[in-house]
Amino acid sequence: MRQSPRQGAQNEHGPSRRDVLSGGLSNAVLFGLGAKVVFEFVGEELASSERMKILDLSINFKDELKPFHERAKGQASQMLDRALEPAEDDSRALMDFFREEIMHPSNEKVRSIPARIRQELVHFVAGQIATESSYEDAAPNKAGARSFVQITAIAAKDVGINLNDLIGNPKLQAQAMGMIFARHYELLLHETGEAALTLIQARYFDKKPEQFAVAFLAPALITAYMAGPTNVARVIQGFAGDSFGVYLGYDAFSKMSETFDPETKKYFPKVFAWTLALEEELLRRRES
């Protein structure tokens, strides 16, 4: 079974964030009939507006998100203080640094991920690091994962990096995280299979491929960072075969997540909640 970065025994500056988010196109298979679609980068304001519109449709996911968001808001000030500390040997705040670096165009491997999904990974990495390490380049956890992005020795080796080289090196951590996402995307598509993804898109995201990318594929890929792509692929396959009902926005992913173990089920809502709480706290400070 493939290891996720956290599973371990268990399982010169680049362009600005605006440049990263506005550049480049990537073709991806639109599942079903072998057609093609372009999942494009869109402007940050449009992406944010689109994301919140999708969230507004997601009645069940909003209920699931609420307690995590309330807890994150209560700790957001301290977390943001850590997230705004400068990265090692860099003037950028850690939060900005990772957002600008994990999908940096110089990392060729990340180009295999469709552009719109890359944009979601960039957005949510702020909350993902809060979830993983609380913005502390910490000692190993019980699974042996280390660094701001909590990578194990096995996961680091899988992308050709020595775990010890990651410590105190945020740039390499960001590069490794991007490479892991790229590897997991490849495995997730391969192990899930086109038939299952075609069925889910047709059932819940018909004629809305951008929502399939934003509200299903990106959350699945973020979850695979914690649980491993094989585990997530297995759950997607089961959901494609057994699911019925009407699920809008993130609710299809939320319904599917009921099959995960409790820790995995909570992972994406926690990441979403922390991202939202950090952005709200940052806005509050700017307006005060």
pLDDT truncated to tens, each residue of the chain (288 aa)? 345 665 543 443 333 333 333 333 233 444 433 334 445 566 778 888 899 999 999 999 999 999 999 999 999 999 999 999 999 888 999 999 999 999 998 999 999 999 999 999 999 999 999 999 999 887 567 677 888 999 888 888 889 998 889 888 999 999 999 999 999 999 999 999 999 999 999 999 987 878 999 999 999 999 999 999 999 999 999 999 886 788 999 999 999 999 999 999 999 999 999 999 999 999 999 998
Residues 11, 152: Cα–Cα separation, whole Å: 10
Residues 172, 161: Cα–Cα separation, whole Å: 9
Give domain status of residue 130, yes or no.
yes
What is the structure's pLDDT at 68? 98
Give domain status of residue 210, yes or no.
yes
Domain containing residue 133: 17-287
Number of domains the chain is built from: 1
Give domain status of residue 34, yes or no.
yes
What is the structure's pLDDT at 210? 84
Give domain status of residue 12, yes or no.
no
What is the structure's pLDDT at 124? 97
The encoded tokens of residue 5 equal 């970065």
Length, in residues, of the chain: 288
Residues 90, 220: Cα–Cα separation, whole Å: 31
The encoded tokens of residue 207 equal 């004629």
Q: What pTM, to 2 d.p., does this model score?
A: 0.86
Residues forming a β-bridge with 28: 37
Give domain status of residue 1, yes or no.
no
Give domain status of residue 155, yes or no.
yes
**Side chain identity, residue 13:** H
Contact, 5 vs 149, CB < 8 A?
Answer: yes
Give domain status of residue 11, yes or no.
no
Residues 229, 94: Cα–Cα separation, whole Å: 27
- Dihedral of CA atoms 123, 124, 126, 127 in degrees, nearest 10, equals 150
Contact, 151 vs 158, CB < 8 A?
Answer: no
Phi, psi of 250 (to 5 degrees): -75, -5
What is the structure's pLDDT at 243? 65
**Side chain identity, residue 155:** A
Give domain status of residue 4, yes or no.
no
Residues 152, 150: Cα–Cα separation, whole Å: 7
